[in-house]
Amino acid sequence: SEPTEDESRPDPDAAIRPLVRGIHYLVAEDPDRALHELVEVARTHGAELAEVYLALGDLFRARGEYLRAVRIHQSVLARPQLDAEIRFRAHWALARDFHSGGFLDRALKQYRAVLELQPDHLPALEGMLAIHEDAGEWEAALSVLRRIGEVRGERDAAHEAFVRASLAAALPEREKAQALAEEALSVYPGCGLGWEVKLSVEPEAAAEILDQWKTHARASLPYALALAERLAPEAVEAWLQEAQDELREVEWLGWAEAAESGRARQVLKAAGFQPQTLRGWLRWSAITGESEGARWAREWRASEGNWRCAQCGLVLRELRWRCPQCRRWGTMRAIERELGCVPA
How far apart, in Å, are the Cα atoms of 217 and each of 22, 189, 190, 327, 336?
52, 7, 5, 19, 16
pLDDT (mean) for 304-329:
93
Look up the pTM and report it.
0.80
* pLDDT in the model for residue 300: 76
Write down the pLDDT at residue 288.
78
Q: Given a cut of 80, is residue 2 above it in pLDDT?
A: no
Looking at residues 271-296, what average pLDDT do you find? 80
Q: With contact defined as beta carbons under 8 Å apart, do 94 and 77 qualify? A: yes
What residue spans define the domains of the chain? 12-118, 305-343
Residue 255, pLDDT > 60, answer: yes
186-217 per-residue burial string, b: 16 or more CB within 10 A, e: under 16: ebbbbbbbbbbbbbbbbbeebeebbebbbeeb
CA distance 183 to 252: 30
What does the pLDDT read at residue 232?
A: 95
Tell me: the pLDDT tens digits for 204-215?
Answer: 999 999 999 999
**Share of residues in the chain with pLDDT > 70 (%):** 83
Within the chain, strands assigned E span: 307-309, 315-316, 332-334
Where helices occur in 9-80 by DSSP H, the ranges are 16-27, 31-45, 50-62, 66-77
Topology classification of domain 12-118: 1.25.40
Average pLDDT, the chain: 86
Q: What is the pLDDT of residue 59?
A: 85
**What is the pLDDT at residue 340?**
45
CA dihedral 186, 329, 206, 230 (to 10 degrees): -160
Give the C-alpha separation, 61 to 40, whole Å.
18
**Residue 341 predicted with pLDDT over 50:** no
- The pLDDT value recorded for residue 47 is 46
**pLDDT recorded at residue 249:** 92
Q: Mean pLDDT over residues 278-294, rounded?
A: 78
Break the chain down into helix, strand, coil percent, rounded to 5. 70, 5, 30
Q: What is the pLDDT of residues 14-62, one digit of tens each?
A: 555 665 566 566 546 676 676 666 666 555 554 457 787 888 889 889 9
